Amino acid sequence: MTRPLSKIMCANRGEIAIRVFRAATELRLRTVAIYSHEDRVHLHRYKADEAFEVGAGRSPVGAYLAIEEIVRVAKDAGVDAIHPGYGFLAENPAFSQACEDADIAFVGPTPAVLSALGDKTAARALAFEVGVPTVFGTEGPVATIDEARAFADHAGYPLIIKAAMGGGCRGMRVVREVAALDESFERARSEALAAFGDGTVFIERFVQHPRHIEVQILADAEGDVIHLFERDCSVQRRHQKLVEMAPAHSLDDSTRAALCRDAVTIARKVGYRNAGTVEFLVERGGGYYFMEANPRIQVEHTVTEEVTGIDLVQSQILIAGGATLTDLGLSQADISTRGFAVQCRVTTEDPQKGFQPDTGRIEVFRSGGGMGIRLDGGSGYAGAKVSPDYDSLLVKVTAKALTFQGAVDKLHRSLAEFRVRGVSTNIPFLHN
């Protein structure tokens, strides 16, 4: 069903909120921001046509998890659609349902699909059902430390504990020996609860030194699904992605085809709608395993946009309004990539202090632009206050060139031009 959209809210903050507002403005939609008390002078609220404070009396993170208040503010403001961004409520089926109940288009999957894929344990079961290889792990959520110990005794070490209801490395712990299991289990549950409002976790065998390859998909409400090829997100620190590239360099064509095929198969099986990512672990010999499906836009979506020329966020909004892939002029036969794109995340972390997050006021901020460089940020400007309450992402730098080495060279050149004073950043680490 097609519904005319005229005003959209982003129920998020920072870089992704600004990205949504820019995409929506180009579609000639009015934009609405929400912000916590701590974010009252944050840039994203000023990039929207209207902005409203939410979460009075809640924690800085809790403000962005206040479903009833966010939906109420949206209704009062005459919002037609809500984009959840990534993190916070992006994978929360209750939020999608609340939007649906309020007759507001949710820019993402249906509540049923979010329940099937947002819950990582349910997604593993779905992949297994359609014959996609999965890593050996628990059949469902692990509720107690006794259950965790029982699985560890059977599977052996190393293991990885993961949040069932969210991603982005929160609620994730690698356990290499029995002595670390109890503390890791409790820390993972605590982090998951704080980040996603749900402390459910599950456990898998930890695959040593794989490539982390993810496939971007788009699907409409009529069941049409396409892929936009893959990204390589193998460069990580503590399971947090640092560098992403598209397409994956030196990936075997047969493996690429299998990953893309399996991603589309999973999406069709679950009745997927909107943008999403299906993630795999690929071993050196070419074997691969389904890891998870992220039913939302990803931080690293920019590299896919750069090599395909397709605006993923605008596609999300239009699909939420009822457009089909055919309406958008998108068919699998016409999707191709040109050149290479590489993205790195500039964060306010100090490499000299074990990447400890740094906070304070940015006194000087000069970025490195130029041909082939795309900058996506939310706190990257002189005078910005970097708070300890949220993640440390400062700006995403994406380089595009016809060759992989050309993109890498552009990225290094851009990083060399950056000048940031007032807070420490990871640029020296990235520029090595």
Active site members: 296
> What residue ranges in 220-363 does DSSP mark as E strands?
225-237, 240-246, 274-282, 288-294, 340-347, 349-350, 356-357, 360-361
Q: Are 36 and 60 spatial neighbours (Cβ–Cβ below 8 Å)?
A: yes
Report helix angle 120-129 to 253-270, nearest 10: 110
Which DSSP helix (H) or strand (E) runs through 395?
Answer: strand 393-401
Interatomic CA distance for residues 55 and 59, integer angstroms: 8
Residue whose structure tokens are 């979010």: 114
- Helix spans in 197-340 (H): 253-270, 301-308, 312-320
Strand pairing class (211-219; 373-377): unpaired
Q: Is there a contact between 365 and 420 (Cβ–Cβ < 8 Å)?
A: yes
Q: Please report the DSSP string for 27-85 in residue order.
A: TT-EEEEEE-GGGTT-HHHHSSSEEEE--TTS-TTGGGG-HHHHHHHHHHTT-SEEE--
Neighbouring C-beta atoms of residue 194, cutoff 10 Å: 14
Please state the separation of Cα 130 from the chain's center in Å: 25
Q: What share of the chain is helix, strand, coil (3-state, %, to 5)?
A: 35, 25, 40
Residue 12 · residue 86 · CB < 8 Å = yes
Q: Which helix (H) or strand (E) holds 415?
A: helix 404-417
Taking the C-alpha atoms of residue 143 and residue 145, their distance in angstroms, rounded to an integer, is 7
Rounded CA separation 306/398 (Å) = 9
